[in-house]
Chain A
């Protein structure tokens, strides 16, 4: 029997985007304040899980045709590459570079290579969480 989930589906269409926006905010906030790739990744994963709950997994797979294992691998590679870049500059592993730039619109902004590392972490977290949930969720 199909339950009536109009409420959930309607709410989800709005809430998902709010969660995703908040995930982006938390991700960038991690630079100086609480937040970062891990939390941002979990929030993104929770948005996708909400979509999967409201609709169903095949539909979501059609909308987001992402292979989450590959996403994890790409995230890992980005993270390792950022950390390994220090090898080229002959400074200890994981040494980060940062500086202040005058960007249009943003004004003076500090850019940090840790952000690249965090993008890797973000992708790994989304990938791993979604892989786990799909493994359990796929068979009824």
Chain B
């Protein structure tokens, strides 16, 4: 019984409510928002050390006994994701202060970010499938507010489609929950993990599992449900895009990982095979997009889709290497995507355009920025010793140990395409003939560049010090591989 599990969810909620009281006081807004995220980060760190020393933490709301009340569960996997999402939010917040514009800051930008954080951390922490729906709706409401924030024409146009897609997927979510409840009679994830193996009607459970894959697939942008992502993510400003790219699809990925390891394991021959095939198709579709566009935003947006495919392929293998690789890659991808979006954001500010063909020759005037970008690009592609490498290595190893060696081959081959897609940005923007750039003063540039550079440095630490982080990753993987650890923690006594 420990309320500590809830702190990373409740603290941003309290700060968001406080921020709504004085929307016009600019400096207070910034200070309180950053204080809120720092407090969340501190509580996440405390929770992390607690989980590390005492194992899985669980609390059931309202003092109800476990399968009846709503459980909140924090295992190593979820606390790692809470920690990385909080870190990402903190740096994006620092980046948005100089870039997002005063008008947006004064119309509830910071409360929306904190509400988004409440939803994301809650979705990572909850141990109840309907509560997962509620937290996903919380983060979606915040994301609706953020995607139209500022009300520019393309934003309004794209947010209509974003909203519509998400409403449909929410209705499907409710339907899937209804089917699951009628078959199993419970919605508590730990209880589901106990009940599902006892049910003989494997066919209907497989249908439900696939329905959940569709629901979470909308959020995670898997093939062929990613169609909404490139258009919608293109519209909002870069800080919001970085937040979305780093966090939103990851919630869908997390939900698939959790459900497909904890309780939808009754027919792995079909469901996980399907997941592996979809994952590979997602990677291929993402690669086509990443290579086809000359727009820097689009290139990174399509790279989100590629990463989703890679992570899901690791999970579909259901062996230690694959799952540990997926967890590592998920954490790495949150940090590196946020860093890349922020870097690309600085590029578009400097050139005043996001079209690659109108860029060039930046390495002379901004050498440090150029090399930072190259490091981040290599990290994304997974060049050792950077952070993309250990995760991808484990996922590929998982594929070879499992039955899908062809999937591993595709991942290896597409790594080159990923590298090509980001190095293309480097070549076009930093080499070649210098073009006219928008003059920005040093202070403004540094206020954008410093948080970004720290984020890139963090990914380098994650890659170089992979040996240091590996014990936590294998801890997290162990809970996913042995659902009994999770079940015992929730249904104790």
A80 pairs with B13, CB closer than 8 A: yes
A91 pairs with B13, CB closer than 8 A: no
B17 pairs with A92, CB closer than 8 A: no
* Bound-state Cα–Cα, A116 to B6, Å: 20
Q: Which residue of B lies closest to A83 (CB)?
A: B10
Q: A80-B13, A84-B10, A86-B3 are in contact. Are A95 and B20 (CB under 8 A)?
A: no
A76 pairs with B61, CB closer than 8 A: no
Specify which chain B residues have a CB less than 8 angstroms from the CB of A73 in the assembled complex. 17-18, 20-21
* Bound-state Cα–Cα, A55 to B412, Å: 69
**Is A96 among interface residues, defined by CB-CB distance under 8 A?**
yes
Q: A72-B20, A77-B17, A86-B3 are in contact. Are A91 and B10 (CB under 8 A)?
A: no
Beta-carbon contacts under 8 Å, A76-90 to B: 76-77, 80, 83-84, 86-87, 90
B14 pairs with A80, CB closer than 8 A: yes
Q: Which residue of B lies closest to A78 (CB)?
A: B17
* Bound-state Cα–Cα, A90 to B1, Å: 8
**Is A69 among interface residues, defined by CB-CB distance under 8 A?**
yes
A94 pairs with B62, CB closer than 8 A: yes
B20 pairs with A93, CB closer than 8 A: no
Cβ proximity bits B1-30 to A, threshold 8 Å, 1 near / 0 not: 101001000100110111011010000000
**Is A70 among interface residues, defined by CB-CB distance under 8 A?**
yes
Chain A interface main SS type: helix
Q: A77-B14, A80-B10, A80-B13 are in contact. Are A96 and B20 (CB under 8 A)?
A: no
Beta-carbon contacts under 8 Å, A96-111 to B: 96
B18 pairs with A92, CB closer than 8 A: no
* Bound-state Cα–Cα, A82 to B55, Å: 29
B59 pairs with A92, CB closer than 8 A: yes
**Is B319 among interface residues, defined by CB-CB distance under 8 A?**
no
Q: Which residue of A lies closest to B111 (CB)?
A: A73
* Bound-state Cα–Cα, A69 to B108, Å: 10
User: How many residues of B are counted as interface, with CB atoms below 8 angstroms from the partner's CB atoms?
Assistant: 20
* Bound-state Cα–Cα, A86 to B60, Å: 13
**Is B403 among interface residues, defined by CB-CB distance under 8 A?**
no
B21 pairs with A70, CB closer than 8 A: yes
* Bound-state Cα–Cα, A95 to B1, Å: 12
Specify which chain A residues have a CB less than 8 angstroms from the CB of B69 in the assembled complex. 92
**B63 interface neighbour in A69, A76, A84, A92, Cβ under 8 Å:** A92
Most buried by B among A80, A93, A94: A93
B23 pairs with A69, CB closer than 8 A: yes
* Bound-state Cα–Cα, A70 to B59, Å: 32
* Bound-state Cα–Cα, A120 to B265, Å: 41
Other A-B contacts than A72-B20, A92-B62, A93-B59, 16 sampled, CB-CB below 8 A, are A69-B20, A69-B23, A73-B21, A74-B21, A76-B20, A77-B18, A80-B10, A80-B14, A84-B10, A84-B14, A90-B3, A92-B59, A92-B69, A93-B61, A93-B62, A94-B62
Taking Cβ atoms with an 8 Å cutoff, the residues of A that contact B are 69-70, 72-74, 76-77, 80, 83-84, 86-87, 90-96
A and B contact pairs by CB, cutoff 8 A, 28 listed: A69-B20, A69-B23, A69-B108, A70-B20, A70-B21, A73-B20, A74-B21, A76-B13, A76-B17, A77-B14, A77-B17, A77-B18, A80-B13, A83-B10, A84-B14, A90-B3, A91-B1, A91-B63, A92-B1, A92-B3, A92-B60, A92-B62, A92-B63, A92-B69, A93-B3, A93-B10, A93-B59, A94-B61
